[in-house]
Structure 1
Amino acid sequence: MKPHNPLDIIEIPLSKTSMALGLAASAVFVAAGIWFVNHPNQFHRAPLIITIIGIAAIVAFGVAALYIVNKLFDTRPGFIIDDDGITDNSNAFAVGFVPWEDVQKIEVAYIQRQKIIKIYVKDPDGYIRRQPNALSRRMASISYRIHGSPVAVSAQALQSSFDDLYKLITERRPNL
């Protein structure tokens, strides 16, 4: 592997603004969950279901808030493009480093009106297996089953527009 020219490395920082908005939204849902748990009888039916929904909101959005706080203090770039490949550090289910020799095809897709970059890799199951925990493996497996690739990149948490990110990736490897 040849040494990198620092000018050949593109680092895209995480968007602290997007993360702050996500943290605020998570806090609102945690607060709503707490209210549901403390006041289930305010609803005309099924207080038990309201309590369960409240607990689920507290757990899910509490975990999301903890993750976002961790990312707010993360000094690593959200996304790196270099001569060796790409490194995605933009979200909880990012796959990390993907060498160019593993990339078979790059295309744009939509998931619920949000643009993503699907990166088709040679060994999708290998990328699923290397995920650090069961939830990440499950999410990568679902992505593979639904979208044909466990590697999906969004610009949502990055200081980059989707179009600029796509252009930077495809300019580095125009034959894909």
Structure 2
Amino acid sequence: MNTPYEQHVEYPSRKRMAWLTAGAALFVCAGFFLIFDQSFKPGSSIISSVIGLTSILFFGICFCYSLIKMIRKEPSFVIHEQGFIDSSSYTSGGEVAWKDIEHIFMYELMGQKMIGVKLRDENAFLERQNGMKRKLMTANSNMVDATISIAQSSISLPLDQLYLMMMSHWRHARDSRG
């Protein structure tokens, strides 16, 4: 296990990112099918077109994001002495100092284990985020009381191990301060 002064770098799992990319591509194809399929009853084609367009837009963005994450060789998560840098998802927190953290905890949402990070001054942190990202982070914070959530899907290290590593670094930083 890392000592509090060692930096730990996590890269996205290429296998998981490939599955996410393929899944998003399938939903984009399904969206096109809904738009251009003429076998629906008259009147239902408007509903299927709206659903198809929504699917294409949402999963098209997901496809592009996961494809870029899969191709780039950038870390998705870095732990260092001063804090951590989260770039594991679109709603990632960026750089966060250990001194700004109020609480770190594990939780499960819709069957997926996640690490939640509650910040001392959540409003100041959210003000630094762009519009859509801020709204998504606020919604997440209202659901699980975590300003930042880290999912297993973008990290290759098992989430339990990452959690223990984060807790060790955070406690060490907290004990060093006071």
Question: So what's the TM-score if we normalise by structure 1?
Answer: 0.89
Letter in 2 for 1:81: I
SS at match of 2:152: coil
Post-superposition shift, 1:170?
1.2
| Distance in 2 of aligned mates of 1:130 and 1:115 | 27
Letter in 2 for 1:162: L
Post-superposition shift, 1:20?
0.7
Post-superposition shift, 1:171?
1.9
| Distance in 2 of aligned mates of 1:77 and 1:69 | 15
| Distance in 2 of aligned mates of 1:29 and 1:77 | 27
SS at match of 2:89: coil
Gaps of 5+ in 1: 1-6
Report the equivalent of 2:26: 28
Gaps of 5+ in 2: none
Report the equivalent of 2:139: 142
Report the equivalent of 1:53: 51
Post-superposition shift, 1:120?
1.1
If asked which structure has higher relative contact order (CA below 8 Å, sep 6+), I would say: 2
Report the equivalent of 2:156: 159
Report the equivalent of 2:36: 38
Report the equivalent of 2:80: 82
Instruction: Tell me if the contact between 1:102 and 1:121 (Cα under 8 Å) persists in the aligned partners.
Output: yes
| Distance in 2 of aligned mates of 1:22 and 1:135 | 22
| Distance in 2 of aligned mates of 1:31 and 1:120 | 38
Is residue 2:102 matched to residue 1:104? Answer: yes
- Find runs of 4+ consecutive structure 1 residues off by over 4 angstroms: none
Matched positions, count: 169
Instruction: Tell me if the contact between 1:117 and 1:166 (Cα under 8 Å) persists in the aligned partners.
Output: yes
| Distance in 1 of aligned mates of 2:125 and 2:137 | 8
Percent identity between the aligned chains? 24
Post-superposition shift, 1:68?
1.3
Among residues 39, 43, 63, which one is paired with 1:65 in the alignment? Answer: 63
SS at match of 1:8: coil
